[in-house]
Amino acid sequence: MLFLAMWTGDIMFANAYELIVFILNFIGIYEPINNIFKTLGIEYVLRIIIVFVEIAVLFVFALLTIMFLTWMERKVVAMVQARYGPMVTGPRGLLQPVMDGVKLIGKEDIIPAKADRWVFTLAPFLVFIPALLIFIPLPFGESLIISDLNVGLLYIIAISAVSPIAILLAGWASNNKYSLMGAMRAVAQDISYTIPLALSAIAIVLFTGSLSTVDIVTAQNGTWFGFIPKWFIFLQPLGFILFLIASIAEMGRIPFDFQESEQELVAGFFTEYSGMKFAMFFLAEYAHLFSVSAIVVTLFLGGWSFPYISLLPAALVPLVSLGVFLVKTYAVIFFAMWLRDTVPRVRIDQLLNLGWKIMIPLALLNLLVTGFLLTVGVF
Amino acid sequence: MKTDELLINMGPVHPSTHGVLRFKLTMDGEIIKKCEIVMGYLHRGTEKLGEMKTYMQFVPYTDRLDYISAFPNNYAYVKAVEELAGIEVPLRAEYIRVLTLELNRIVNHLVMLGSLLLDLGASTMIMYGFRERENALALFDMLCGARMTFNYIKPGGVREDMPEGFIPKLNEFINDMDKRIDDYEQLISGNEIFMGRMKGIGVMSAQDAINYGMTGPSLRGHGVNYDIRKLEPYSVYPDLDFKVCVRNEGDSFARYMVRIDEMRESLHILRQVVDAMPPAKPASLAKYGIAPMTGVPTAVSTYFPRIFTPPPGEVYSRIEAPKGELGFYIVSDGTIKPYRIKIRSPSFCNLTAIPKMVEGLMIPDLIAAFGTIDVVLGDVDR
Amino acid sequence: MNPAEELKQLFPDSVVSVGFQIKKPLAIIKKEDLLNVAKKVKEMGFDNLSVITGIDYRDRFEVVYNFFSYTKKQNLVLKVILDHNNPEVSSLASIWKVADWLERETYDLVGITFGGHPNLKRILLPDGWIGHPLRKDYDMNVDQFVTVGEDGEDIVSTDGTNLLRR
């Protein structure tokens, strides 16, 4: 209670590091520890330790999320398809991802005889690491951000552009026609969908004047007329739809799962992978699912903000905002899973036509109209 | 830039070849230049086996041809034998046969819809289809104790009469199915992506389709108004009211819609069969044949001797199976075994059209067209 | 007048005899004239070639063609009788496309050669299979082992040596 009582007022932290320092200070152990390191002349070590703790927490969070998502996907699919899904391992099958992990670790790691061994091994890591790196500028809640980059949005788009290269590497190194075709498709798809994705994100930046994800979220604080939250989805409905479609294409999920397209290309670019390397692709896919949904929430659905969240005691805000953020993100994820169970896959040329002939012109138009309206001062 | 053609081997083990079929595709990028079909991976020599079994013993082998819809196989063979020997069948048995045939048509189309949608990437329909199929299989189980390989229709009638409580269960199924088909249509037919994948894909003119030997629902999707149930009526079909489902577009979507319509039509037939089912009469004592008779007549079966020797002769008899025209050509030399059995399987002849149909299309289109042709590899390879 | 008799009038020399195969009009054709007769049959409206059956009668082969006409709703059965030593008949694949595979199947299982067929090779059995199984003199006591070679071709042997690796 003392803690809550003392932590009042509008204390906002730039990132989670400062939050941790504040809490340590609050408990009264930051200064003593810092002094010990100071006398040793290595105070930077404390900084490093705190950063490592942050990263460890994020990593564990990401892995748990991924595991939960695999379980959730199966359960949602089962729900839609009128069956139970995993039920045996753990309560309602919650430990299924653990068993899957055990199985995948136990599998033989096969490298095809004619594959490029080095690239073949490198590719899964190149897919997995960017998927985690995207988590860094994501605002999970007020003050809960690893690093508030002032080019956050650019960083996200740039990092997500790495994965097609890794996929191409994987497809090429496998020395398999299906893998190569899957990789080619993935690259074509990623290139044509990153453009509308970025264009509709730029329309948001016109409003905020900043690429920082924290600024974007704070710009969505508050309400119109006291009950409509000031989320960008209401200002940018077309942009939202374009961004959502493009981000589902970015995630590579049905109806746009060309990199995989099981029924056409067996398993697409990871046909030849097995064991832990396969698991890496699998994990990256779900990490992508989470991070892209989180970006949709951040840009269009108000991120962690919620009407009247500022009325709460300041100490509760980080926790509540984290909850709000997760609820919104899981809503978007659920939408993606629901979509996957309902619609068939489009054809690759239809997808590219949609991307180049419809979505990019629309995104440009959206940007133009937004810019015009902003200039004449309607918003 | 000079480019090389790419040879892709789809199958024999591939998620969407419905078994063990192999497409040898010569590709120009994503475009199919030439498609060659390699088969025979499931060849079991059924025709040769037929020469070594007696007429009665061969019935179970027919179950294994098109294992999705085994009743029509049973019936097509039995009909050929009956035509060859001129056997009369009790009316109740004929009604039960039509009941099983139409129920099996629904089951077949459910599996076809499910696997077609699964091939297109929508995984839900197969679960829905198999949910309803399970109910139908439970009905089959009640009828003959087997779910997929029945050995139920035998020369002279059917093996057993319907058990107690079969008709109420069947009515339940029919009423349930009516709503389910509407559900499927809501899920699939109006879906923009589905239409984009199916419309204008795998188009063939009616003339070509006939020339390539397509039959059944696949041919009716090309605007050919034909149905062996109407053209050469067999069993009790002349007494039943049903219409032939035809679509004129001749593309994958039309072939798919014919199936949906046919399921509705089959339900309509089933309702009539239930209403018109004649009561079980005491066994007729009309006898047949020259050999010692050991088969006991029942209400649903005439005498059929264990040692059965039909008169020497040849017969080609065909029925409208769910997949198309299923025919049996039987040559008898007057002994207890058939001299030669030739199976005209619908899947085999429908598949002939695929290489022509998919030229210039892409792999996803090949899968869509192939899915609407609806083949079962047990039927192709025999 | 049924179509078989019509054919008899049109080709008195080619049609050996006419009759019925359980209600279906049947015409037995000289094997040399099959292609000519078949062309006429197609003109008469028999657009559907239902099935081609090859039968080994030990002293002769018979090939039976079952036709159906969607326009006239009629059946017609053509039959050719072939010499047992040299079973060869001209192919109908140029007239009915479905005959392509049906003839390949007949060649594969019964061993009847179809002259002028565009691609006459085995269809159900592996290439290199010994004998034609639906012939009455086919030796079923010989085991045949099939493996797939380096380039995807079928390798058949009777002693199973190809099953051993290297």
Pairing of strands C74-83, C24-29: parallel
With contacts defined as CB-CB under 8 Å, which chain A residues touch B8?
177-178
Min Cα–Cα distance to chain A from B115, Å: 11
Residue that the structure tokens 């309206």 belong to = A373
pLDDT score for B33: 86
- Residue C34: other Cβ atoms inside 10 A: 22
Please tell me which of the candidates B40, B83, B224 has its beta carbon nearest to residue C22. Answer: B83
Interface test with B, best of A347, A354, A357 (most B CBs within 10 A): A347
Residues 132-161 of B with CB under 8 A from A: none
What ranges do the domains of chain C cover?
3-119, 125-166
pLDDT score for B290: 40
CB contact under 8 A, C66 and B316: yes
pLDDT score for B190: 81
pLDDT score for B291: 38
With contacts defined as CB-CB under 8 Å, which chain A residues touch B15?
262-263, 266
Any idea what the CATH number is for the domain that residue B278 is in? Answer: 1.10.645.10
Residues B66-84 pLDDT 10s: 888 888 998 999 888 888 8
* Among B166, B183, B170, residue whose Cα is nearest residue B129: B183
- Rounded to whole angstroms, how far apart are CA atoms C111 and C61? 10
pLDDT score for B47: 87
CB contact under 8 A, A262 and B15: yes
pLDDT score for A7: 54
- Rounded to whole angstroms, how far apart are CA atoms B289 and B292? 8
Please tell me which of the candidates C53, C101, C125 has its beta carbon nearest to residue B43. Answer: C125
With contacts defined as CB-CB under 8 Å, which chain B residues touch C24?
316
CB contact under 8 A, B352 and C55: no
pLDDT score for A351: 84
C-alpha radius of gyration, chain A, whole number: 22
- Tell whether B187 lies on the interface with A, counting CB pairs under 8 A: yes
* Among A329, A255, A339, A345, residue whose Cα is nearest residue A80: A339
pLDDT score for A1: 43
**Topology (CATH) of C3-119:** Beta Polymerase; domain 2 (3.30.460)
Q: Which residue does chain B place closest to A179, by CA atoms?
A: B8
- Rounded to whole angstroms, how far apart are CA atoms A82 and B34? 41
Interface residue ranges in chain B relative to chain C, Cβ cutoff 8 Å = 9, 39-40, 43, 45, 47-48, 51, 83-84, 207-208, 210-213, 215, 224, 226, 231, 313-316, 318, 325, 327, 329, 331, 339-340, 342, 344, 348-349, 351-352, 356, 381-382
Q: Chains with ≥3 Cβ pairs under 8 A against C?
A: B
* Among A148, A147, A140, A146, residue whose Cα is nearest residue A319: A140
With contacts defined as CB-CB under 8 Å, which chain B residues touch C21?
313-316
pLDDT score for A108: 83
Quick check: A19 and A144 in contact, CB under 8 A? Answer: yes
pLDDT score for B288: 47
pLDDT score for B372: 87
**Contacts of residue C4, Cβ cutoff 8 Å, sequence gap at least 6:** C15, C18, C19, C25, C26, C27, C76, C77
With contacts defined as CB-CB under 8 Å, which chain A residues touch B18?
none
pLDDT score for B293: 43
Inter-chain CB pairs, A–B, below 8 Å? 76
CB contact under 8 A, B194 and A343: yes
- Tell whether B120 lies on the interface with A, counting CB pairs under 8 A: yes
To 5 degrees, how large is the angle CA C121–CA B52–CA B332?
90
Q: Which two tokens stand for residue B368?
A: 């869509």
Identity of residue B131: R
A-B interface (Cβ pairs under 8 Å ≥ 3):
yes
Enumerate the β-bridge partners of residue B25: B8, B35
CB contact under 8 A, C51 and B327: yes
- Rounded to whole angstroms, how far apart are CA atoms C57 and C84? 8
Interface test with B, best of A176, A177, A258, A343 (most B CBs within 10 A): A343
Min Cα–Cα distance to chain A from B19, Å: 13
Share of chain B above pLDDT 70, in %: 95
**Could you list the residue range(s) of the whole structural domain that residue B185 is in?**
46-353
Q: Which two tokens stand for residue C136?
A: 């009455």
Please tell me which of the candidates C98, C134, C152 has its beta carbon nearest to residue B349. Answer: C98
Q: Is the peptide bond between B217 and the residue preceding it cis, with omega within 30 degrees of 0? A: no
Q: Environment class of residue C55 by beta-carbon count within 10 Å: exposed (0-12), middle (13-18) or buried (19+)?
A: buried
Residues B12-57 pLDDT 10s: 888 777 778 888 888 887 788 888 888 888 888 888 888 888 888 8
Please tell me which of the candidates A177, A257, A264 has its beta carbon nearest to residue B367. Answer: A264
* Residue A331 backbone dihedrals phi, psi, to 5 degrees: -65, -45
Mean pLDDT (whole number) for B172-188: 87
- Tell whether A254 lies on the interface with B, counting CB pairs under 8 A: yes
* Among B12, B34, B28, residue whose Cα is nearest residue B357: B34
Please tell me which of the candidates A177, A266, A344 has its beta carbon nearest to residue B6. Answer: A177
With contacts defined as CB-CB under 8 Å, which chain C residues touch B348?
101, 105
Please tell me which of the candidates A177, A341, A350 has its beta carbon nearest to residue B123. Answer: A341
Please tell me which of the candidates B8, B16, B124 has its beta carbon nearest to residue A263. Answer: B16
CB contact under 8 A, A345 and B120: yes
Write out chain B in H/E/C secondary structure. Answer: CCCCCEEEEECCCCCCCCCCCEEEEEEECCEEEEEEEECCCCCCCHHHHHHHCCCCCCHHHHHCCCCCCHHHHHHHHHHHHHHHHCCCCCHHHHHHHHHHHHHHHHHHHHHHHHHHHHHHCCCHHHHHHHHHHHHHHHHHHHHHCCCCCCCCEECCEECCCCCCCHHHHHHHHHHHHHHHHHHHHHHHHCCHHHHHHHCCCCCCCHHHHHHCCCCHHHHHCCCCCCCHHHHCCCCCHHHCCCCCCCCCCCCHHHHHHHHHHHHHHHHHHHHHHHHHCCCCCCCCCCCCCCCCCCCCCECCECCCCCCCCCCCEEEEEEEEECCEEEEEEEEECCCCCEEEEEEECHHHHHHCCHHHHHCCCEHHHHHHHHHHHCCCHHHHHC
Enumerate the β-bridge partners of residue C62: C55, C81
- Average pLDDT of every residue of chain C: 83
Q: Which residue does chain C place closest to B21, by CA atoms?
A: C124
Type and span of the H or E element at A228: strand A228-229
Min Cα–Cα distance to chain B from C7, Å: 21
Min Cα–Cα distance to chain C from B45, Å: 8
Identity of residue A161: A
Residues B270-309 pLDDT 10s: 888 888 888 776 655 555 444 344 456 666 777 677 778 8
Write out chain C in H/E/C secondary structure. Answer: CCHHHHHHHHCCCCEEEEEEECCEEEEEECHHHHHHHHHHHHHCCCCEEEEEEEEECCCEEEEEEEEEECCCCEEEEEEEEEECCCCEEECCCCCCCCHHHHHHHHHHHCCCEEECCCCCCCCCCCCCCCCCCCCCCCCCCCCCEEEECCCCCEEEECCCHHHCCC
- Rounded to whole angstroms, how far apart are CA atoms B215 and B221? 10
At residue C52, does pLDDT exceed 70?
Answer: yes
Pairing of strands C74-83, B153-154: unpaired
Q: Which two tokens stand for residue A333?
A: 């994820």
Count: domains in chain B: 1
Residues C120-145 pLDDT 10s: 888 888 888 888 888 888 888 888 88
Q: pLDDT digit of tens for each residue in chain A (379 aa)? A: 445 545 555 556 667 777 777 777 777 777 777 777 778 777 777 778 878 888 888 888 888 888 888 899 888 888 888 888 888 887 888 888 888 888 888 888 888 888 888 888 888 888 888 888 888 888 887 777 777 788 888 888 888 888 888 888 888 888 888 888 888 888 888 888 888 888 888 888 888 888 888 888 888 887 777 777 888 888 888 888 999 888 888 877 878 877 676 667 777 778 888 888 888 888 888 888 888 888 888 888 887 877 777 777 777 777 788 888 888 899 999 998 888 888 888 888 888 888 889 889 999 998 898 888 888 877 6
Q: How far is CA B219 from CA A55, B317, B345, in A?
A: 63, 20, 15
- Rounded to whole angstroms, how far apart are CA atoms C23 and C74? 11
Interface test with C, best of B37, B316, B341 (most C CBs within 10 A): B316
Min Cα–Cα distance to chain B from C12, Å: 25
To 5 degrees, how large is the angle CA B279–CA B282–CA B283?
120
For residue B271, is it within any domain? yes
With contacts defined as CB-CB under 8 Å, which chain C residues touch B226?
70
Pairing of strands B324-332, B313-321: antiparallel
Q: Which residue does chain A place closest to B365, by CA atoms?
A: A347
* Among A20, A77, A12, A36, residue whose Cα is nearest residue A314: A12
Does the CA dihedral B10-B11-B15-B17 come out positive or negative? Answer: positive
Please tell me which of the candidates B14, B121, B124 has its beta carbon nearest to residue A80. Answer: B124
Min Cα–Cα distance to chain A from B101, Å: 28
* Among B79, B160, B143, B148, residue whose Cα is nearest residue B107: B148
With contacts defined as CB-CB under 8 Å, which chain B residues touch A257?
121
* Residue C52 backbone dihedrals phi, psi, to 5 degrees: -115, 125
